[in-house]
Amino acid sequence: MSPAHDQSETQRKRQLERRQQHRRTPFQIKFLRFVFRFIGPVIPGLMARLMHYLWFQTHRHPMPAREQKWLQTARQSRISFEQQDIALYHWGEGKTILLAHGWDGRGSQLAGFVSVLLKQGYSVLAFDAPGHGASTGKTTNAVQIARLIARLDKEYGPFQAVIAHSLGVPASLYSAIYEGLRLGCFIGISGPGDLPFLVEKYTTALHIPAPVIRRFQAQLVNDFGADWAHRLATTRMAGQLGNRTGHPIRALIVHDSDDLDVPAEHSQAIASAIHSDGYVLTTGLGHRRILRSPAVITLVGRFINGCSNADNMLD
């Protein structure tokens, strides 16, 4: 690697740091920072319960016109899942590709892939996770989303491929290893390498004091078991995938160097662990716009077309 490349990479990282620093902080975040900083040390148990509630609470965001247009072409249905009504979106006929969105997202965010996949003869299934999009609920977690993906696999699978974004990446891998998802071809986009990273990012953003964090972590142990961080480590699951499913996995991992939510190094580690067919690093797309990139959409479509071993493994 040349000195010029090192200098360019250093400049890029500094630019990302400046962009993160200049992000406008919402009033709600400022208020929570004040609460956790000054009240957290006094009543850490109560503040840990507040943090626990906030951690699993989802937030719905307005759907842009392009996504509304995409959904107009879908066959929409609903299923009942763990006391919630889940919105499903279907396009086309043929072998099915599953789209798995990330936290605070919705199925329509990945609908940019639909046109290319339909032209290649596939059908596409997307969903809104509990507490997201048009589905009911106000909270969820990666493990529950993994169970939902396994449920969809039983009813609509086996899937020719799964395209997952952000938290959809660990949820899909967890579903394959622990919940029975039949997975032969996997595309992971902008995924976190482990969930403790997200916890650390969250606690840092809200200036949460150590006593509150310790009690919150104890609640996570109560929710998911003492080994929750190990079980939900995306890189570890990626490394185990072939052994646990009983057959090799074709995988493509994509990330953007300008992602402000999850550093690209996370996907690089996932790609290495899963022995992926390719790791693609884009530039200038960020965490979500990468899903609308024509180049990325074309790349994913070509990869799925060449994923012929999924037919052999899962038919």
Decide if 38 is inside a domain.
Answer: no
CA distance 290 to 272: 21
Give pTM, 2 decimals: 0.87
Degrees (nearest 5) of the Cα angle 138, 34, 205?
65
What tens digit of pLDDT does each residue of 141-151 get?
Answer: 999 999 999 99
Q: What is the token pair recorded at 93?
A: 């006929």
Asked if residue 160 is part of any domain, the answer here is yes
With respect to residue 61, please indicate whether it lies within any of the assigned structural domains.
no
Return the higher-pLDDT residue of 213 and 7. Answer: 213
**What is the rounded CA–CA span in Å between residue 252 and residue 275?**
9
215 in a domain, yes or no?
A: no
CA–CA gap between residue 237 and residue 232 (Å, rounded)? 7
> Is 204 among the domain residues?
no
- Supply angle C-alpha 196, 198, 202, rounded to 5: 115
Q: Is 283 exposed, middle or buried (0-12, 13-18, 19+ CB in 10 A)?
A: exposed
- The confidence score (pLDDT) of residue 265 equals 95
User: Please, which pLDDT band fits residue 192 given cuts at 50, 70 and 90?
Assistant: very high
Distance CA 93, CA 138 (A): 32
| Residue 235 contacts residue 194 (beta carbons within 8 Å) | yes
Any long-range contacts for 22-29 (C-beta under 8 Å, 24+ apart)?
23/260, 29/205, 29/206
CATH number at residue 295: 3.40.50.1820
Query: Which pLDDT score is estimated for 18?
Result: 54
pLDDT at 202: 87
Task: Classify residue 257: in a domain, yes or no.
Answer: yes
* Residue 234 within a domain: yes
C-beta neighbour count of 185 within 10 angstroms: 25
- Residue 45: inside a domain: no
Q: pLDDT tens digit string along 111-147? A: 999 999 999 999 999 999 999 999 999 999 999 999 9
Count of structural domains, the chain: 1
277 versus 254: the higher-pLDDT residue is: 254
Predicted confidence (pLDDT) at residue 264 exceeds the cutoff of 90:
yes
Euclidean distance between CA atoms 98 and 72, whole angstroms: 18
Domain coverage including residue 254: 66-198+226-314
Select from 299, 247, 251 the least CA-distant residue to 273: 251
Alpha-carbon span 219 to 48, nearest angstrom = 8
pLDDT band at 11 (very low <50, low <70, confident <90, very high): low
Say which amino acid occupies 305.
N
